């Protein structure tokens, strides 16, 4: 059994093309949350830079770093100094021509204890991620793909942004023993959308992730960015990142919910509730796994 409670912090921040400025904002928030008692701190997707995927430019691959590059070393130092578990995000250069959108987990003095390379890669107007990111490998033998990461605060099912729309990803993390689902995110509105469409999009985004908590009987932590980021190519209208970071419990109950400005969220999770919820609603027990084989097909036609 896990400890009965776990204090977690979510960082919802602006980000800029200047890594120094972006990481300074991240560090200030991390230190403040640690001072308030957070044992686990989660940063948003690509927190060290602007959201550069609004346009395609090969020169932007220069933003990428290896796993243990300057950004990774800085985050590892913070986790060690503050004695916390820290989930960060980097644009990873794995090899020449091979780049990933990667969440990295640092556990106190142990340093980097695991990483997750984003598996679902979108390609939509303003979100041209397939140009920049290779999907993560599916290799359970090497704990890659949908494999949770063991830490001193529990087993973390770390996923990234577009992964949040896929119940399969959340389920596979839960089936591998994840105690918490975490989603570092960068999502926002097209300024040309009307208010009704913006509301539908944000509500759907919140709802589906809360549903992952319900379906798997685990808490869910989501960290999203805020602020308007222009499209430097001037082809698109830019993105207004909507914030809305949140924490919910294993029945989808909202425990903390951010607004549309930069802020830190601090919440204490009752980790025993997942066990108790699963005893009452034993979804994993009642799954008809022998009837689900067609889920491995693209479409049933």
Q: Where are the alpha helices (H) located in the chain, listed in sequence order?
A: 19-35, 70-82, 129-132, 167-175, 195-216, 272-280, 283-286
Closest by CA to 1, choosing from 208, 236, 274, is 274
End-to-end CA gap in the chain: 44
Tell me the CA distances in angstroms from 78 to 109, 111, 139, 161, 207, one per residue in order: 10, 10, 30, 24, 33
Does the annotation mark 161 as catalytic? yes
Please report where in the chains the tokens 């379906």 appear, as a residue. 215
Q: d(Cα 126, Cα 92) in Å, to the nearest integer?
A: 20
Cβ neighbours of residue 136 closer than 8 Å, sequence gap 6 or more? 100, 102, 116, 117, 118, 119, 144, 145
Q: d(Cα 215, Cα 283) in Å, to the nearest integer?
A: 7
Does the annotation mark 248 as catalytic? no
- Tell me the three state secondary structure of residue 41: strand
* Torsion angle, alpha carbons of 105, 106, 108, 110, to 10: 110
Q: Looking at 65, 129, 161, 248, which residue is catalytic? A: 161
Q: d(Cα 185, Cα 162) in Å, to the nearest integer?
A: 8
Q: Would you say 98 and 134 are in contact if contact means Cβ atoms under 8 Å apart? A: yes
Q: Looking at 118, 129, 202, 248, which residue is catalytic? A: 118
Cβ neighbours of residue 178 closer than 8 Å, sequence gap 6 or more? 148, 155, 156, 157, 216, 218
Strand partners, 173: none
Q: Looking at 45, 65, 92, 129, which residue is catalytic? A: 45
Residue 106 DSSP code: E
Q: Annotated catalytic sites, by residue?
A: 45, 118, 161
């Amino acid at each position: 059994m896990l400890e009965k409670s776990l204090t977690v912090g979510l960082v919802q921040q602006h980000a800029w093309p200047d890594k120094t400025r972006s990481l300074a904002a991240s560090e200030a928030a991390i230190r403040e949350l640690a001072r308030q008692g957070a044992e686990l701190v989660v940063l948003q997707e690509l927190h060290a830079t602007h959201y550069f995927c609004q346009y395609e430019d090969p020169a932007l691959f220069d933003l990428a770093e290896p796993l243990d590059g300057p950004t990774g070393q800085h985050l590892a130092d913070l986790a060690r100094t503050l004695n916390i578990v820290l989930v960060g995000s980097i644009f990873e250069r794995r090899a020449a021509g091979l780049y990933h959108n990667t969440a990295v987990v640092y556990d106190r003095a142990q340093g980097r204890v695991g990483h997750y390379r984003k598996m679902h890669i979108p390609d939509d107007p303003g979100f041209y991620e397939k140009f920049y990111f290779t999907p993560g490998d599916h290799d359970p033998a090497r704990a890659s793909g949908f494999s949770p990461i063991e830490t001193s605060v529990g087993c973390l099912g770390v996923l990234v942004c577009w992964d949040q729309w896929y119940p399969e990803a959340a389920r596979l993390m839960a089936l591998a023993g994840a105690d918490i689902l975490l989603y570092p995110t960068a999502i926002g509105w097209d300024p040309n959308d009307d208010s009704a469409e913006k509301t539908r999009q944000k509500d759907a985004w919140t709802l589906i992730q809360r549903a992952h908590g319900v379906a798997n009987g685990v808490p869910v932590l989501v960290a999203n960015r805020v602020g308007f980021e222009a499209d430097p190519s001037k082809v698109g209208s830019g993105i207004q990142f909507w914030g809305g970071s949140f924490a919910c419990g294993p029945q989808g109950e909202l425990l903390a919910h951010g607004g549309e400005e930069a802020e830190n969220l601090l919440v204490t999770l009752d980790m025993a509730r997942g066990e108790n919820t699963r005893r009452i609603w034993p979804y994993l027990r009642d799954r008809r796994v022998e009837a689900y084989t067609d889920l491995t097909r693209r479409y049933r036609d």
